[in-house]
Amino acid sequence: MSKSAIVEVIMTAFLVSALSCAMAYGEGPELFRKGKGVVTRWSSFENPNGVKGKGGMENKGAKGHPSDSIETSETKVLLDIKGCGVINRMWMTIMDRSPEMLRSLKIEMYWDGAKTPAVSAPFGDFFGVGLGRRVAFESALFTDPQGKSFNCFIPMPFRKGAKVTVTNEGKKRLSHIFYDIDYCLTSKHDEDVLYFHAYWRRENPTKLGEDFTILPKVKGNGRFLGTNVGVIAGKDYEDCWWGEGEVKMYIDGDTDYPTLIGTGTEDYIGTGWGMDFFAHQYQGCLIADGEKKHYAFYRYHVPDPVWFDSDCKITMQQIGGNQKKIVMELLEKGVALKPISLDKDGRLIKLLEMEPVPGLEDKTLPETWTNFYRQDDWSATAYFYLDKPENGLGPIAPVAKRVAGLK
């Protein structure tokens, strides 16, 4: 095949992929094509569930109910409808955007009358930024124009009904929450249309030598859409880099080793040699606070889908690094770490494959960059589609564990 033919094949594949993604998100040709029987509805406090001809009836139509409050231990239902359709957009804002409130509020979503939620996450974490912090950004799935609001553009189909709730599990009353949920109703979905899911978890600290689980194993046919991750690096490790760990994606029967694997934490979000602020459509780092050792980053697999047919599990290795001398000093201080490899001129000296495994004091080991297992505070929201409305993952951590150590 000639060079020009190869280029043409590559460009054609790229354009087909781009068009497919655009159409899936309501762009391109779909902007001017209306499906038969499709109707548009918005749900807000001015018209809960988007009932036809019932919007803005309070105060004789003059802005009577734009917001509401949520008492402690109260669950506020934002949407509860029957029928077939798809949620296209969510927008919300709240008066109290403190770390405690962003982690104390829990957002959940139920499809088709299911008893357990498909989506369960702290309010702030669900909307694209972890650690109970806000920052202005824009990505393909989430936006926050000025660091004060919460937008989600992930399509969320349902066949028999949809329910969205926010629960205040904290100690403080939330005085103001504003929202609208924009959705369309239709007659039916094709059989291959999947249900949206999201799940949050935290390990504080992670276990030495064990990967952090971003998404516990789920069974079914689906797609891993991506994740946003929050890391509070352990202060015992001083200024050592924490992000040498590789993402692992176990799909369709993988056991000890995954099919899909990355090369480093910052590599996974498309950058290299550390993390600083950037906000791109499918990857970014929204918090890089070296003083507090807070980092929040994301990767969304929109143009590069991760499909699975029977099961999926996503993890991230807990590995950091620094020069050998500094790592040895930390060991002498009793810091919890385990050396695993040294980088010598671009080739790794693999300590764990040596018999016996040498200590860093071994004179034959060079003075160079040293990778080691470490323990930090990791949390993550995993987004995925599944061929059923329930995922079997169980409830997220209680509020006390969600808010601990955020300041």
Q: Which domains does the chain have, with CATH numbers?
A: 28-318+375-403 (2.60.120.1390), 321-373 (no CATH)
Q: By C-alpha distance, which of 43, 225, 243 is closest to 126?
A: 225
Task: With cut-offs at 50, 70 and 90, classify the pLDDT of residue 402.
Answer: very high
Q: Who has greater pLDDT, 114 or 6?
A: 114
Six-digit token string for 81: 């409808």
pLDDT in tens, 311-368: 999 999 999 999 999 999 999 999 999 999 999 999 999 999 999 999 999 999 999 9
pLDDT in tens, 48-105: 999 999 999 999 999 999 999 999 999 999 999 999 999 999 999 999 999 999 999 9
Check pLDDT > 60 for residue 6.
Answer: no
Check pLDDT > 70 for residue 20.
Answer: no
Q: 116 and 197 in contact (C-beta within 8 Å)?
A: no
Check pLDDT > 50 for residue 295.
Answer: yes
Check pLDDT > 60 for residue 10.
Answer: no
Six-digit token string for 401: 């564990």
- Across the range 9-29, mean pLDDT stands at 40
Q: Which residues pair with 367 in a beta bridge?
A: none
pLDDT score, position 31: 81
- Length of the chain (residues): 407
Task: With cut-offs at 50, 70 and 90, classify the pLDDT of residue 26.
Answer: very low
Q: By C-alpha distance, which of 55, 52, 79, 41 is closest to 185?
A: 41
pTM of the model: 0.92
